[in-house]
Structure 1
């Protein structure tokens, strides 16, 4: 009976060690994949969120200015016609 318990204890210790090893390998693989993804994305011409927001604001301002100039031109043309 004592040898049976020792067998189960040894098996449990082995499985615990194996589970820890597998978990460590999983974490290491995940970190490696994350690093490779960062390198790949870093090589592309992506812009940061801040840069995107600045350019977006510039586009909105340019559109507003173009609309104002169009309205002014329409008013001048109407005045010239009248």
Structure 2
């Protein structure tokens, strides 16, 4: 009876060790994948949302100025005809 309990206890220890090892391997795989993504994304030229919005606003202002200048040019051309 005692030998059966020892076998079961040993099996439980092995199962617990395997579960801990698998959990550790899963964490390590996730960390490695995250690090690889950071490396891959680090080489790309991304801009922050604030920078994007600032450039977008600048482009909108430039478009407005172009429209105003086109209207002035059309008026000047109409006068000269």
Give the paired residue count: 81
Q: Which structure 2 segments of 5+ residues have no match? A: none
1:6 and 1:71 map into 2 onto residues whose CA distance is 94
1:44 and 1:56 map into 2 onto residues whose CA distance is 20
Q: CA offset at residue 49 of structure 1?
A: 2.4
1:64-79 → structure 2 map (5 Å cutoff) = 64-70=64-70
Q: CA offset at residue 74 of structure 1?
A: 5.8
1:71 and 1:7 map into 2 onto residues whose CA distance is 92
Aligned to 1:39: 39
Report Cα offsets for 1:30-63 as digits up to 9, x if no partner: 1111112111111122222222222122222223
Q: Given the two structures, how large is their TM-score scaled by the length of structure 1?
A: 0.69
1:45 match: secondary structure? coil
Q: Given the two structures, how large is their TM-score scaled by the length of structure 2?
A: 0.70
Give the 3 Å change call, closer, same or farther, for CA 71–24 of structure 1 in structure 2: same
CA RMSD of aligned residues (A): 2.4
Give the 3 Å change call, closer, same or farther, for CA 5–76 of structure 1 in structure 2: farther
Q: CA offset at residue 15 of structure 1?
A: 1.0
Q: Which structure 1 segments of 5+ residues have no match? A: none
